[in-house]
């Protein structure tokens, strides 16, 4: 009897599994049948939001369904991360994560309510963005060497703005402090736009910011760009030398972002999203816009993006411990 009972239970389990598998296959075959949303962990108008809206528009066109951008700012990106992680794993919620939400988040929050690697499945990395060190035109430095010299003469007096605590600009500034053995003062803002506004107005002296956010105000002369990270100059600002060119190859920091979905999302849906997103990122028109604005398009595999996140976590966890950066 016991053997028969287990055979019946096993048969029912196999039947249920088969039905579930057929349902998933059917759902993914017609996916998508309704609008999608892309959770944006930052305010409207910032560099990540600009990129997200470009990707959302093009992805919507490719899938034949609207992709709505859902801004969930706050908590250094954690609010948006939680909302995305707790969403149904059905392919209708995308998350535009980046260095703050995926790379540094686990090390700056006392209790981050999601795990970047366990609660999400990567789809593809979208961009890699060099950082710019910029100053207000009234600041006397014209090069990195002059900037460092002023900072060493006036420890604790030179400040730099960033888009927020533990963002790429903040981390880049703290790494700069460590590598150059100086003491800059961090001034955090709620997003890149207000930080840039105060830099343009002269309320802060300098800023570490992404290319996508900073290029427009550099081009119109409202701020001065001293240097760019990365191995070569940017097409967006060809006259701005790299840190390496100026004798500081040991300083390397960048921002980045990519698309993820909640863990448990069926692999066929992930593959569909990956295929469409990589096509978009590598589209000549999108490439031209991204390159001209500063970001470097990527479009790698889910596995490559996951490996990249692990490398970034290892790097920035050391900087965070060194600078004692915490968000309660």
CATH number at residue 139: 3.40.190.10
Are 299 and 286 within one domain?
yes
**Contact present, 183 and 112 (Cβ < 8 Å):** no
Query: Could you tell me the residue range of the domain that residue 135 belongs to?
Result: 130-228
Alpha-carbon distance of 27 to 65, in angstroms, equals 15
Are 125 and 30 within one domain?
yes
Q: What is the pTM of this model?
A: 0.82
**216, pLDDT greater than 70:** yes
Q: How many CB atoms lie within 10 A of CB 43?
A: 19
Segment 163-169 shows an average pLDDT of: 85
Amino acid 77: pLDDT: 86
Are 176 and 198 within one domain?
yes
Are 61 and 98 within one domain?
yes
In a domain, 1, yes or no: no
**264, pLDDT greater than 50:** yes
Are 98 and 134 within one domain?
no
At a CB cut-off of 8 Å and minimum separation 6, what does 92 contact? 32, 34, 35, 36, 37
Listed residues 228, 246, 269: the one ending a domain: 228
Are 125 and 261 within one domain?
yes
Are 124 and 271 within one domain?
yes
Are 123 and 143 within one domain?
no
96 has which bridge partners? 259
**Contact present, 71 and 49 (Cβ < 8 Å):** yes
pLDDT digits (tens, 9 = 90+) for 267-297: 999 999 999 999 999 999 888 888 887 888 9
In a domain, 5, yes or no: no
Alpha-carbon distance of 125 to 77, in angstroms, equals 17
Instruction: Report in angstroms the alpha-carbon separations of 239 from 131, 143, 156, 224.
Output: 15, 13, 30, 11
Backbone angles phi, psi at 94, to 5 degrees: -110, 155
Are 134 and 110 within one domain?
no
Alpha-carbon distance of 191 to 171, in angstroms, equals 15
Give the pair of three-digit tokens for residue 52.
Answer: 């997200």
Segment 8-17 shows an average pLDDT of: 45
Are 209 and 315 within one domain?
no
Alpha-carbon distance of 304 to 308, in angstroms, equals 6
In a domain, 209, yes or no: yes
In a domain, 207, yes or no: yes
Listed residues 211, 228, 245: the one ending a domain: 228
Listed residues 228, 247, 267: the one ending a domain: 228
292 against 88, higher pLDDT: 88
Give the pair of three-digit tokens for residue 207.
Answer: 């800023």
In a domain, 250, yes or no: no
Alpha-carbon distance of 299 to 208, in angstroms, equals 25
Are 185 and 159 within one domain?
yes
Alpha-carbon distance of 88 to 201, in angstroms, equals 44
CATH number of 39's domain: 3.40.190.150
In a domain, 242, yes or no: no
Are 138 and 285 within one domain?
no
In a domain, 66, yes or no: yes
Is residue 216 classed exposed, middle or buried when 0-12, 13-18 and 19+ CB atoms within 10 A define those classes? Answer: middle
In a domain, 292, yes or no: yes
Query: Total structural domains in the chain?
Result: 2
pLDDT band per the 50, 70, 90 thresholds, residue 50: confident
């Amino acid at each position: 009897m016991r053997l028969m009972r287990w055979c019946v239970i096993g048969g029912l389990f196999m039947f249920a599994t088969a039905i579930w598998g057929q349902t998933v296959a059917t759902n993914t075959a017609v996916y998508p049948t309704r609008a999608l949303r892309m959770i944006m962990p930052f305010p409207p108008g910032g560099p990540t939001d600009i990129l997200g809206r470009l990707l959302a528009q093009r992805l919507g066109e490719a899938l034949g369904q609207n992709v709505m951008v859902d801004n969930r700012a706050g908590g250094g990106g954690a609010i948006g991360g939680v909302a995305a992680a707790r969403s149904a794993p059905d392919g209708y919620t995308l998350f535009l994560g980046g260095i703050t939400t995926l790379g540094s988040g686990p090390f700056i929050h006392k209790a981050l309510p999601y795990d970047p690697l366990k609660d999400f499945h990567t789809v593809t990395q979208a961009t890699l963005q060099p950082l710019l060190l910029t100053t207000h035109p009234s600041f006397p430095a014209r090069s990195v060497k002059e900037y460092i010299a002023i900072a060493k003469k006036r420890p604790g007096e030179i400040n730099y703005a960033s888009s927020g605590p533990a963002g790429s600009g903040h981390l880049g500034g703290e790494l700069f402090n460590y590598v150059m053995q100086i003491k800059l003062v961090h001034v955090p803002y709620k997003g890149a736009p207000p930080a840039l506004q105060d830099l343009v107005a002269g309320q802060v002296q300098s800023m570490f910011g992404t290319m996508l956010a900073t290029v427009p105000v550099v081009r119109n002369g409202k701020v001065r760009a001293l240097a760019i990270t990365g191995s070569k100059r940017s097409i967006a600002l060809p006259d701005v030398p790299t840190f390496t060119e100026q004798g500081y190859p040991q300083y390397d920091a960048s921002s980045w972002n990519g698309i993820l979905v909640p863990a448990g999302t069926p692999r066929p849906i992930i593959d569909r999203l990956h295929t469409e997103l990589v096509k978009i990122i590598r589209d000549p028109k999108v490439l031209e816009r991204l390159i001209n604005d500063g970001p470097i398009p990527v479009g790698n595999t889910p596995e490559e993006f996951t490996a990249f996140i692990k490398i970034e976590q290892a790097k920035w966890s050391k900087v965070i411990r060194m600078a004692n950066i915490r968000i309660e």
